[in-house]
Structure 1
Amino acid sequence: MTRIPLLRRALAGGLMLAGLAGTPVSAEDGTTAEQTVDAMNTLWGQHPGMRANHAKGTVVEGRFTPSAEAAKLSKASVFSGAAVPVTARFSDATGLPTIADGAANANPHGLSLKFKLADGSEMDVVTNSLKYFPVATGEEFRDLLVAIAKSGKDAGKPTPAETFVASHPAAGKAGATARTPTSLARQTYNGVNAFILVDASGKRQAFRYRIVPVEGEELLGSEEAAKQAPDHLMSEIRTRLGKAPVSYKVLAQLAEPGDRTDDATQPWPEERRLVEMGTLTLTKPVADSASAEKALLFLPNALTDGIEVSDDPLIDARVQAYAVSFGRRSQ
């Protein structure tokens, strides 16, 4: 594979692209979601049965125990008091199923959650270690990927990727907000998209998820991360869970008037109120993670009464792209 210059790895805004493969894609064929997945396949190759992005991962199980404060903000049953089972998937970035966990390209690491609610329904939460996203819409994300795919070593200057980032400032900065942790149990995971909490009286509150390790975040420098064993994060979390549970605080960062809910490139000020919605406790690794991963589909709009999507256009864009990727890897 041709190595991508450091600039274009940063341009990916957390995808941290590892190389080019295949024929450059066109932004004219198929839907935006199909074009996005095609671009990922161009960059990382096609790997049957695997996700187009965040291909490498591991599945674990646990529970979510809500706080009393959560029920004041939302009427959702997940916050009603009783603990609910959770299936979680940790992942590395890129569509490379054998990427080294400590590689810069493996950032951002993802944490996706599927809550099994008492009425038999499910609710999904999709987070990663980026503090904000590189672009604001699905079309821009597709255009970013296509621009990178067309910016190989023979591309003229300025390359399509350089031209893109010049007009999209967050695209050149977002990737730097994610670093390799000492353990997946020691990383903070962010929901870059805004959602809406609805309480029993109908009051609506925009928020973003933040999942913070109880043990505290602990990150590695790039040189130290690169020295780790290729599977050190995925193996370590499974070993760790074999000895003791791992816990995280699930927080809601509450928006205030004027905070953008329709632009994932715009983080809200750190002084915004953080409400503890409950505790996520992971208890054991799934025995056959590969089979579990293949069957799992996490959709950001898979919600329950009391939590709603916001006006963030990336939510639907992600849902559509995930569905395309799932359909292809299920064939």
Structure 2
Amino acid sequence: MRRALVGAVLTLAAPAAVSVAFAQNAAAPDAASTAEQTIAAMTKIFGDHPGKRSNHAKGVVVEGSFTPSKDAASLSKAGVFAGPAVPVTVRFSDATGLPQIPDGAPEANPHGLSIKFKPADGSEMDVVTNSLKFFPVATGEEFRDLLVAITRSGPGTAKPTPVEQFMAAHPTAPKALATARTPSSFGRQVYNGVNAFVLVDAAGKRNAFRYRIVPVAGEELLSADDAKAKAPNYLVEEMPAHLAKAPVAFRVEAQIAQPGDSTKDSTIPWPEDRRFVDLGTLTLTKAVPDSQTVEKTLLFMPNNLPDGVEVSDDPLIDARVQAYAISFGRRSQ
């Protein structure tokens, strides 16, 4: 369970050997920030891979457009939801900071989908999602503690190991991790925005929501045996090959919160009977010529939002922003 756990929990920050070297002490100096301690723990777990993300190190970058729905403009005054189709850059990725992880390995879950919307008015918007249905922990501090527990739970560690103790004390964590599955294609998986954001319309009305990105072709998940039998790079190779023949499309949906739904705890999924609004269609049409070079300079920040979309009170949003910034600085050196 430990190796699968390592892959599945690392969705907050973005470095990364399937033969994981478990250190005995991952805690950074007391003066270090939580984000710095988080990245230090990831490096202890996966090793240092210059030029790569601390997590979701392996991926592929593609391009396309987003066409907003009529309903989107009624919920948000953001330009990305108001006009014609908007160019987008999208990165699909495997979990962990291991650049050579096999795409079908359990540690490669959850997969990620990040979108950078680039409307003509310059009001960029980033969306960061993954295939977990909800997140294992509620705060950046808890996420750091989980990583440190993993580093202290190497072979030969007395039972219950630190990570087993952590999971027992945080029962939502194993439940969240159990939702991660391997798809037949990056284009055949549902991706969730586990953090809540807020849509603001022209009259100032606010609606808390979470993203859900649904493949138009339908979700297609593999059994553990079928995933293990796949070629090591089947996901990152299949997407460009598919786009060379036909587009890949997703519906971008907003799950609207009702009074009483928690917006600050991403371990609590909202009931499925909550209203889902179609925000528009994401249509991917081509892979970038040099994905490895492009992805090094791409930075997706959850708080990079236009007027009409706001962060909620979810503390994980700021935790992600801080950790992403540190990881970006490291790979840019």
- SS at 1:158's partner residue? coil
Counterpart residue number, 1:122: 124
Deviations 1:222-264 (A, max 9, x none): 1100000000011001100000111000000000011000000
Indicate how the Cα distance of structure 1 residues 13 and 136 shifts in structure 2: closer, same or farther if over 3 A, else same: farther
Counterpart residue number, 1:3: none
Distance 2:22 2:296 in 1: 24
Distance 1:299 1:224 in 2: 34
Deviations 1:273-312 (A, max 9, x none): 1000000000000001011000000000000000000000
Conserved 8 A contact 1:11-1:165: no
Counterpart residue number, 1:65: 67
Indicate how the Cα distance of structure 1 residues 10 and 310 shifts in structure 2: closer, same or farther if over 3 A, else same: same
| Structure 1 residue 124, shift from structure 2 partner | 0.2
Question: Normalised by the size of structure 2, how large is the TM-score?
Answer: 0.95
Amino acid at match of 1:219: L
Conserved 8 A contact 1:51-1:326: yes
* 1:75 is the counterpart of 2:77: yes
Indicate how the Cα distance of structure 1 residues 236 and 13 shifts in structure 2: closer, same or farther if over 3 A, else same: closer
Q: What is the correspondence of 1:207-286 to structure 2 with a 5 Å cutoff?
A: 207-286=209-288
Conserved 8 A contact 2:10-2:96: yes
- SS at 1:163's partner residue? helix
Distance 1:34 1:10 in 2: 21
| Structure 1 residue 13, shift from structure 2 partner | 4.4
Q: Mean Cα displacement is larger for which, 13-22 or 237-246?
A: 13-22
Deviations 1:92-149 (A, max 9, x none): 0000000000001000010000000212231100001000000000000000000010
- SS at 2:163's partner residue? helix
Counterpart residue number, 2:111: 109
Q: What is the correspondence of 1:91-170 to structure 2 with a 5 Å cutoff?
A: 91-170=93-172
* 1:178 is the counterpart of 2:173: no
| Structure 1 residue 81, shift from structure 2 partner | 2.2
Distance 1:176 1:200 in 2: 40
Question: Normalised by the size of structure 1, how large is the TM-score?
Answer: 0.96
| Structure 1 residue 156, shift from structure 2 partner | 1.8
Indicate how the Cα distance of structure 1 residues 144 and 184 shifts in structure 2: closer, same or farther if over 3 A, else same: same
Conserved 8 A contact 1:13-1:134: no
Counterpart residue number, 1:85: 87
CA-based RMSD of the aligned residues comes to 1.5
Amino acid at match of 1:21: A
Conserved 8 A contact 1:41-1:52: yes
Q: Percent identity?
A: 67
Unaligned runs of 5+ in 2: none
Amino acid at match of 2:53: R
| Structure 1 residue 21, shift from structure 2 partner | 2.1
Counterpart residue number, 2:4: 9
